[in-house]
Structure 1
Amino acid sequence: MATLEGCHCRGAGSRNNNSILYNILKSDSLATTEEKHQHQHQHQHQHQHQHQQQHQQQTLHQFLHRTSSPSSSSISTSAASAPTSLRELRQQACSCGSTRRRGVLRSPQVTCKAASAVLVKTLRFVKNVPCFRELPEDDQLMLVRSGWAPLLVLGLAQDRVDFETTETAEPSMLQRILTGLPDRQSELPAGQSRGAAGVSLLDIQAIKAFLKKCWTLDISTKEYAYLKGAVLFNPDLEGLRCLHYIQSLRREAHQALNEHVRLIHREDTTRFAKLLIALSMLRAISPPVVAQLFFKPVIGAVNMEEVLLEMFYGK
């Protein structure tokens, strides 16, 4: 059972309230339609957060409308579907030069709106986890900065948000010399959005491979909850004040997931290992890539951390 021994956090209360099972599943953002009918009193709790959620959405929309979305009319080729492994991706990159190939969202306004809604739900989920609220603010901030991107991608998987991309080839060095194009993305002409340059196709395919993995496994609401707990409580960050407590919370999330899988999927002895593989795929996804793909097309040069701080702390 996770305890706050060795740090300056407030005690977590009763035995049941200390459990990662209780802390994670209590979040009303994870309630299914069936659970809502069985626990109607949770609607009152949700209503109390409605005004706060609207404020978060308004804050995000203010950022989203600061800059206009870059045009994608010059991009015509559909992005290739994801190969079965990252090794194949790297082999293809070496053989066909796809390290220079980049992709952008086919429908940025639609996809970015969906991603923004998932971000609001994700931050609300984090704030509703009692053992997270008991952490010092410095630790909370570190965990949010570290975990927002993988939690967002998990949310995309849970809400089954799919997206299409179009491909653009980055000019070769010879083409840059002959045409006088800037040598680096940082040297883009004034007024041209960085979001227009897109992200590497390898990174896009890694995200799509993770989504496909989750949908193939048909992950349940409770399994998503435990996975989010394992992602949120990241003890690998330097400078955490409640390091041992956060380590115990992650360990407890893994144990709870394992127990749930053994109880519900007794016939599938490899399911827990498959979920851990999905977690490893998720941790390989870069937060700057997530920000570039799903938010840069509409927020432009605005720092993603500014958006997170504004939404999470109201600063």
Structure 2
Amino acid sequence: MLFPATGYSASMATKIPAEKSGKCQCETHHSNSILYQILHQEHASETKWHQQHCSPHCSTRSKGCPCLDRRRVVLRTPEATCRRASEVLLKTSTFIRNLPSFYHMPWEDQFVLIQQNWAPLFVLGMAQEGVDFDLREIPATSLLKKILLNQSSTAVNELGSSSAEASLAEVQKMKNLLWKFWGLDISAKEYAYLKGIILFNSECCILKCLPYVQSLQQEAQKALMEFISTMFHGSLGRFALILQLITSLRDIDANAIEELFFRPILGQATLNVLLIETLYIKPDWL
């Protein structure tokens, strides 16, 4: 039911300006459509899950306008959080470096796999290390005020680049996944198998040794399934749930990760190149 049980009818409610009703303009514009009602129900379910499972001190709960893609956030404690993120990235590269099977592949395949899979590997590493982080929303009017005050374009550019900001929607998606992983209390062995499954993912990749990569991923999946079956008395429901979370990891925007956690450290460099250099597999043409 989209309208409260008062004397107002739906037609009267639509005449109330969005600003006075406290609703987002995009919400009031679509509030009568069937598609909106379906999506609204799904959003309500997700919000209920978030309230039950997410951290009580999470500072970016959805308030007011639900257009999260247009809302920008930065780290509340960037120095400490970026340091921990860098530690996770280092442990991720160490994990890859200690896999002889990875270096048995041509360097072109190594590069493609890192380029395609570093982001889900990083988020999985954040989950394993228990790295939580608080956010601070950037007021949408701050940059506009600078422009209206006729400040120089240089000052405006410095304002826009002083903080590594990302979309609230993407960051919230990442935080929700982290809490789902933590809710499963995944063991160190399970994390190791999951990293193998993610690293040797060959979907949407053109690889020279595709059958070899597929066999490595199947081997990691089989090891995870056997471990879960042994530890949880033959129940494979946990196995299916974890694999579903891995699929969700691939929806995380790599650019959002790079901007939020590493832009202050990297400057204009890219994380892909940094990882390649760290793993000593940088070819001449990079």
Q: Is the TM-score greater than 0.5?
A: yes
The aligned residue for residue 196 of structure 2 is 229
Structure 1 residue 242, shift from structure 2 partner: 0.5
- The amino acid of 1:132's aligned partner reads F
Q: Identify which range, 118-127 or 293-302, moves more after superposition.
A: 293-302
The aligned residue for residue 45 of structure 1 is none
- In 2, Cα distance between the equivalents of 1:96 and 1:175? 23
- In 2, Cα distance between the equivalents of 1:244 and 1:252? 12
Q: Identify which range, 208-217 or 187-196, moves more after superposition.
A: 187-196
Question: In structure 1, which of residues 234, 238, 241 is the aligned counterpart of residue 208 of structure 2?
Answer: 241
1:110 partner SS: helix
What does the per-residue CA deviation read over 1:152-201, in whole Å, with 9 as the maximum and x for residues that have no partner? 1111111111111111133499989967799xxxx984444636251111
- The amino acid of 2:163's aligned partner reads A
Q: Does 1:113 align with 2:86?
A: no
The aligned residue for residue 292 of structure 1 is 259
Instruction: Summarize the Cα distance change of 1:189–1:303 in structure 2 as closer, same or farther, 3 Å threshold.
Output: farther
CA contact (8 A) 2:143 2:160 kept: no
Where does the alignment leave 5 or more consecutive residues of structure 1 unmatched?
1-81, 86-91
Question: What pairs with 1:97-176 in structure 2 (closer than 5 Å)?
Answer: 97-171=67-141
**What is the TM-score of this pair, normalised by structure 2?**
0.69
CA contact (8 A) 1:227 1:257 kept: yes
Q: Identify which range, 110-119 or 92-101, moves more after superposition.
A: 92-101
- In 2, Cα distance between the equivalents of 1:284 and 1:181? 39
What does the per-residue CA deviation read over 1:210-233, in whole Å, with 9 as the maximum and x for residues that have no partner? 110111000011110111011000
- In 1, Cα distance between the equivalents of 2:114 and 2:231? 31
Instruction: Summarize the Cα distance change of 1:181–1:134 in structure 2 as closer, same or farther, 3 Å threshold.
Output: farther
- In 2, Cα distance between the equivalents of 1:262 and 1:188? 59
What does the per-residue CA deviation read over 1:233-254, in whole Å, with 9 as the maximum and x for residues that have no partner? 0212433101111112112211
Structure 1 residue 99, shift from structure 2 partner: 2.4
Instruction: Summarize the Cα distance change of 1:94–1:267 in structure 2 as closer, same or farther, 3 Å threshold.
Output: farther
Instruction: Summarize the Cα distance change of 1:179–1:192 in structure 2 as closer, same or farther, 3 Å threshold.
Output: closer
The aligned residue for residue 28 of structure 1 is none
The aligned residue for residue 170 of structure 2 is 203
Question: What pairs with 1:1-315 in structure 2 (closer than 5 Å)?
Answer: 83=47, 84=49, 96-171=66-141, 189-192=156-159, 194=161, 196=163, 198-266=165-233, 268-313=235-280
Q: Which has the larger radius of gyration?
A: 2
- The amino acid of 2:111's aligned partner reads L
CA contact (8 A) 1:99 1:200 kept: yes
- The amino acid of 1:142's aligned partner reads V
- In 2, Cα distance between the equivalents of 1:181 and 1:96? 31
CA contact (8 A) 2:112 2:205 kept: no
Structure 1 residue 255, shift from structure 2 partner: 1.8
Calculate percent identity across the aligned residue pairs. Answer: 41
- In 1, Cα distance between the equivalents of 2:162 and 2:237? 40
What does the per-residue CA deviation read over 1:244-277, in whole Å, with 9 as the maximum and x for residues that have no partner? 1111211221122111111111275421111012
Q: CA RMSD in A?
A: 3.0
Where does the alignment leave 5 or more consecutive residues of structure 2 unmatched?
1-45, 51-61
**What is the TM-score of this pair, normalised by structure 1?**
0.63
The aligned residue for residue 76 of structure 1 is none
CA contact (8 A) 1:93 1:99 kept: no
Instruction: Summarize the Cα distance change of 1:173–1:115 in structure 2 as closer, same or farther, 3 Å threshold.
Output: closer
- In 1, Cα distance between the equivalents of 2:278 and 2:160? 24
- The amino acid of 1:210's aligned partner reads L
Which structure is richer in relative contact order (CA contacts within 8 A, separation 6 or more)?
1
- In 2, Cα distance between the equivalents of 1:219 and 1:163? 20
